[in-house]
Structure 1
Amino acid sequence: MFDRLSRRTLATMAGGVCLTLGLVAGAGAADGDVKVTPLGSHDGEFCSRDRALVFEDPNGTRILYDAGRTVAGPDDPRLGDIDVVLVSHMHGDHVGDARISKTNTGTCGSPDTSVSTLPQSNTVDIAVKKQAKILTGSEMPA
């Protein structure tokens, strides 16, 4: 499933987000494993252009990491409840300057991201609909 993204890269991303999850959930979060769910453009794949991951703490806190272009907007049925949208940085492929209309369109190497999210972004659209906070380590345009 993760053959297109090295396990080391995924582990590094997961570690950073899990640290953030601990800060968001607060000290004393429930014991257990954080569930990590990749949201790629194609079912069962995590392609080179995919960025999105959902981290779910055992206490129910859910963080969407880099909504990017391969989450089908705020109504994507894979999202569920989202408490925080974490954006690594403000490049279009991470914040979502365009997006897929649904999964499995186009190819893994070239998904159909023809839905424009401008003037906002996939991140903003999802955060507004889910009433989630946006957290980023870089400057975010107004």
Structure 2
Amino acid sequence: METIKRMAEHMYWADERILDALEESGTKNKDLLKLVRHIAVAEQVWLSRLQGKGSTQYSLWEEAEDLSEVRIMFKENAEQYRVYIEELEESKLDEIIDYANQSGVPFQTSVRDILLQVLLHGQYHRGQINRALRAESAEPVQVDYITFARL
């Protein structure tokens, strides 16, 4: 459980850092804004599934109106994941969750694997955002776990 908690803290930190980098860059790249919003919405989708709720109300690939909307989403996600993880007993990590993906296809996945998906998914997309920032001659931001661990 401690590893999951630590990785979750990294996710909250990295979400905030990538958003700061996007704001500082002043980018108007709609694909980047859509991608950072996608990270936030995907976190919501998976939490909803972990809580036994549906996720069809979420649209994973809408454009972000502005980054303040995404910042609010990240803040709320961090608060809700902290509560969920804090209340989660280690014995429940291997419990199987039944859910449907956004297309309605049913799946069964353990709580552990869902949490790992959430924790790793954003890192993949933050790397894509950093690469695009570099291509726009903006400064990418360090979001590696080791950077977080050294704080």
TM-score, scaled to structure 2: 0.28
TM-score, scaled to structure 1: 0.29
Q: Which has the higher strand share?
A: 1
Higher relative contact order (CA 8 A, sep 6+): 2
Q: Which has the higher helix share?
A: 2
Tell which structure's C-alpha radius of gyration is larger: 2
